Structure 1
Amino acid sequence: MRRSPKFLWIVLAVLATGLLLLILNDDAGSTFGFENDQFASLLTSGLLVTVLAAGIVASRPSFGEVTRNIAIWLFIVLAMLTGYSYRYELQDVASRVTAGLVPGSPLSVTDSEGNVTVTVEKTGSGHFEARALIDNKPVQVMVDTGASMTVLTVEDARAIGLDVEALNFAVPVSTANGVTVAARARAETIAIGAIGRGPLPILVAQPGALGQSLLGMNFMGTLSGYDVRGDRMVLRD
């Protein structure tokens, strides 16, 4: 009787590992030579039969205990299969929750075919702004389709780990406040929601020349498209 709990935990670990493999191999479409749907069915069916048979043989429980164990394992299997089947919807829910809790967070949506769209909201200033991740650091950026390059303020450049003091501010750039100079740099990754690109060249504006970092066309131009719908801008990967 004491071995049963350990055995059940082992089976649960195998089931969780199988689910992880399915998620990791989602783009490939197959796991160990089986289509992912077939692998999921074989995994859950095989483990369920193994657990039930081992439990009956080892402990010889009463009919009520057998029924209860079957119900528990059916619930676990169905919950994990449901989570895998609705993985895209769950990702969308998580993205919506994050967008609601963290101001400026873009809303990412992935459809059943793996196509990604990201929605950016217009702020009170009348511009589209979003919380980007540049080199895995959060940076509030304004989408500027008139800027050929992504431009960071000195403060944001320092926040993502650039050595600002070592930069050479010698590149002339035009801003709303006139002509100024900026320094060339590089971002390993720039991500807006689930859409990421990199490495990409960027500019760092000289101190005091820029009030907010700009997301330019060197990122926007890599998208398959984008359009404005009222107070929302939709980016398509």
Structure 2
Amino acid sequence: MIFLAIGLLAVSLALYLLTGDGDTIAGLPRDEFPRVAALLALLIFLMAGVTRLTAGRVAEALKALGSWAAIFLVVISLYTYRTEIGEVRDRVVEELNPGTVQTVSPGMEGSGKGAVVSVKRQGDGHFIAKVQVNGKAVRMIVDTGASTVVLRPEDARRAGILISALDYTVPVDTANGRAFAARVKLDKVSLGAVTLEKVDALITRPGALHQSLLGMSFLSRLRSYEFSGNRLVMKS
């Protein structure tokens, strides 16, 4: 069996090299094929070890082989339904951790272009999202009615902004009435796999906002955003 495992690896390597830039190999996505081949070879190698240890003891050998067969079936099942399992995992995480941003598609590797993310509507009707502002986590309400991103002073401070040096001259209307805010430009704002740089924003004075807002200075720079059922889907 050891030679069978080695042979499987050799054949798999040959197929991988000979297929060039093909999208699939033996019906599997090209980037997944090496992992599946290595897993099969490992299982064969382990079964060979069990068979050698139980040589002459047929009952124990059959029991061991049955156990490995069951493990193999479980692994294959998990691999086959990995997408569905991932979706269930994401839903559980969303319920346990409101504001979690679900990445529907990561987009182009390294740039995030073409990424698709979504957030779930909360019980109060708001779309709450965990946003990275200058690399720091900030919970924000996604608000299409806000003309710009608006940060509470405590969130701005967490994002590394020196709020004491700001000039609060911009009048804004909030749920608490008229207030004044300061204009800033955020180095980086990330919503899951979607990242924008140099985002216009306002910083309010203490007590003016209960929650920071992810407004149109971010949303308008996306390729699109749309409401679908109880989700807000955004594309970069």
Corresponding residue of 1:140: 139
Q: CA deviation at 1:52?
A: 1.9
Q: TM-score scaled by structure 1?
A: 0.66
Q: CA deviation at 1:51?
A: 1.9
Structure 1, unaligned runs of 5 or more: 1-28
User: Which secondary structure does the structure 2 equivalent of 1:36 belong to?
Assistant: coil
Corresponding residue of 1:51: 46
Corresponding residue of 1:23: none
User: Which secondary structure does the structure 1 equivalent of 2:140 belong to?
Assistant: strand
Q: CA deviation at 1:100?
A: 1.6
Q: 2:99 aligns with which of 86, 100, 105?
A: 105
Give the 5 Å matches for 1:146-161: 146-161=145-160
Corresponding residue of 1:70: 65
Q: Do structure 1's residue 226 and structure 2's residue 221 form an aligned pair?
A: no
Asked if 1 retains the 8 angstrom alpha-carbon contact of 2:186 and 2:197, the reply is yes
User: Which secondary structure does the structure 1 equivalent of 2:118 belong to?
Assistant: strand
Asked if 1 retains the 8 angstrom alpha-carbon contact of 2:119 and 2:128, the reply is no
Q: CA deviation at 1:143?
A: 1.8
1:34-62 deviation line (CA, Å, top 9, x unaligned): 82343244223222222222332355252
Asked if 2 retains the 8 angstrom alpha-carbon contact of 1:56 and 1:66, the reply is yes
Change (3 A) 1:149 1:61: farther
Structure 1: which amino acid aligns with 2:85? L
Asked if 2 retains the 8 angstrom alpha-carbon contact of 1:96 and 1:107, the reply is no
Asked if 2 retains the 8 angstrom alpha-carbon contact of 1:105 and 1:131, the reply is yes
Q: Do structure 1's residue 203 and structure 2's residue 202 form an aligned pair?
A: yes
Q: 1:92 aligns with which of 87, 91, 112?
A: 87
Change (3 A) 1:52 1:120: closer
Give the 5 Å matches for 1:177-216: 177-178=177-178, 180-191=180-191, 194-201=192-199, 202-216=201-215
Change (3 A) 1:81 1:115: farther
Structure 2, unaligned runs of 5 or more: 1-22, 108-113
Q: How far apart, in 2, do the equivalents of 1:36 and 1:85 lie?
A: 15
Q: How far apart, in 2, do the equivalents of 1:76 and 1:163 lie?
A: 56
Corresponding residue of 2:37: 42
Q: CA deviation at 1:152?
A: 0.6
Q: How far apart, in 2, do the equivalents of 1:146 and 1:170 lie?
A: 21
Q: CA deviation at 1:130?
A: 0.6
Q: CA deviation at 1:99?
A: 1.9
User: Which secondary structure does the structure 2 equivalent of 1:169 belong to?
Assistant: coil
Q: TM-score scaled by structure 2?
A: 0.66
Give the percent of matched residue pairs that are identical in Structure 1 and Structure 2: 25
Q: CA deviation at 1:122?
A: 4.9
The alignment covers a number of residue pairs equal to 200
User: Which secondary structure does the structure 1 equivalent of 2:146 belong to?
Assistant: coil
Change (3 A) 1:68 1:101: same
Structure 2: which amino acid aligns with 1:227? E
User: Which secondary structure does the structure 2 equivalent of 1:134 belong to?
Assistant: strand
Corresponding residue of 1:11: none
Q: How far apart, in 1, do the equivalents of 2:119 and 2:152 lie?
A: 24
